[in-house]
Structure 1
Amino acid sequence: MKNLIFDLGDVIIPIDLTAPVRNFAMLANLPEDDVRALWKQYDIWNQYETGLIDDESFRTHVRQLLKNDAWADEVIDTAWNSVLLDLPVERIERIKSLQSKYRLFLLSNTSPIHIRRVNHVLTSLNQPTLEELFERVFYSYDVRMAKPSPDIYQHVLTEANLVASETAFFDDNSANIKAAEELGIQAIHVQPPKTILDYLKDV
């Protein structure tokens, strides 16, 4: 094994996928189910994470959807970033310890607001940013593709000049794992109560 590819959410940083909807519902004084239905109907999450809309368009959509033009950018960003939980520094330290042995990459379905927040947290903990921690980062909004599409995995392999059979991929989502396996990548399903540290013990 020469190359390790990591997912971000629930692999490096714990996440709560229900938190943004919960917080936006609270801000808008609407039932969570109503906000969740709107989110799903207009597919804002996916549009933003695949780069179809930028930060400003995302915030504008949120204001229009939840009928509140008065929300400042910071209010929307804070509610959106509530998906991100406390970052365990020991996971970053373990990944850093692998830099001399493997080529390290990040592949994440994410948005610019989330990445800026994660990097802010990392620097506040005296840790390298994601772009410094990995040889290359592949963000869905940047490449305009998202897991589990086979295209995004092929893009990473091609761009980084990786051989699939020499590459391990760590992700918490079973569909993402299956898609990677079908391309010949050794995919490891990170499942609680285990964390990425458990899967890296023998690496």
Structure 2
Amino acid sequence: MIKTIIFDFGNVFINLDIDGAHKYALEKFQIEYLSEEMLGFNSFYEQGLISTNEFLEFYTKNFKKLSKDNLITTWNFMLKDFPKYRLEFLKELQQSSKYKLILLSNTNALHINYIKEHVPFYEEFKNCFDAFYLSHEINLVKPNQDIFEFVLKENNLEANECFFVDDNKGNIDTAKTLKIKTWHITPKDEDVIDLFKTHKKLF
């Protein structure tokens, strides 16, 4: 029996353009691929292990033609629209009181600041959850097993009573190893509002 639903944020509630953002970044940086060092700094930032200033300084030192504003625009390029009908679905789910609702997202301070500025109902969205975990605030990231263990322990959850929704296969695979039930959502073809229709056998 499912008692808790754990949701990812990006490509579940807010739409992302990951491929487009990657292409845009390569064009802006005038490079062919992201170096291991760049990927490392991105990961440190997402885990909250370095500050926004440290993150931006790394890039301004390595790409002197780009200002901090240019870098912030490039970094936030992947963030697109947040359809309000998904908020309405979430609010109805919260009001039903049938499930504990948890958000578990790999994200960072710049992305959240952008979302707060551009999504007028962000606080309303956040308040729908019983627990709200952002990677840079808890210093843990998916798909590492420890972030899932942290959520289970913090909320006294049984893994087999949890259902996890994420668009990233690696994250889904880790959750499965812990016996958490999952939905590897495909953003182009599926929508979180169809959760109960798509998985009616579980609910």
For normalisation by structure 1, the TM-score amounts to 0.86
CA deviations 1:74-120 (Å, max 9, x no partner) are 33222211111111111111111111222111111111111122233
User: Which of 102, 106, 109 is the matching residue for 1:109?
Assistant: 106
Q: Tell me, which stretches of 5 or more residues in structure 1 are unaligned?
A: none
Counterpart amino acid of 2:46? E
Contact 1:119/1:129 (CA < 8 Å) preserved in 2?
A: no
Contact 1:172/1:189 (CA < 8 Å) preserved in 2?
A: yes
- 1:121 and 2:122 matched: no
Contact 2:115/2:122 (CA < 8 Å) preserved in 1?
A: no
Percent sequence identity is: 32
Counterpart-to-counterpart distance in 1, 2:154 and 2:185: 25
What secondary structure does 2:164 align onto?
strand
Counterpart position of 1:5: 6
Instruction: Note the C-alpha offset of 1:55.
Output: 0.8
User: Which of 53, 56, 61 is the matching residue for 1:59?
Assistant: 56
* 1:1-203 matches, cutoff 5 A: 1-28=2-29, 30-31=30-31, 33=32, 36-38=33-35, 40-42=36-38, 43-68=40-65, 71-72=67-68, 74-99=69-94, 100-123=97-120, 126=121, 128-191=123-186, 192-201=188-197, 202=200
What secondary structure does 2:53 align onto?
helix
| Inter-CA distance 101–120: structure 2 relative to 1 (3 Å threshold) | farther
CA deviations 1:46-75 (Å, max 9, x no partner) are 11101121111111111112123x614x33
Contact 2:140/2:147 (CA < 8 Å) preserved in 1?
A: yes
Counterpart amino acid of 1:83? M
Deviates more, 1:128-137 or 1:172-181: 128-137
CA deviations 1:14-72 (Å, max 9, x no partner) are 111234444444444x14x1xx333x33322111101121111111111112123x614
Counterpart-to-counterpart distance in 2, 1:88 and 1:200: 19
Counterpart-to-counterpart distance in 2, 1:127 and 1:64: 33
Q: How many residue pairs were aligned? A: 194
For normalisation by structure 2, the TM-score amounts to 0.86
Counterpart-to-counterpart distance in 2, 1:169 and 1:138: 14
| Inter-CA distance 129–118: structure 2 relative to 1 (3 Å threshold) | farther
Counterpart amino acid of 2:19? T
Counterpart-to-counterpart distance in 1, 2:160 and 2:21: 37
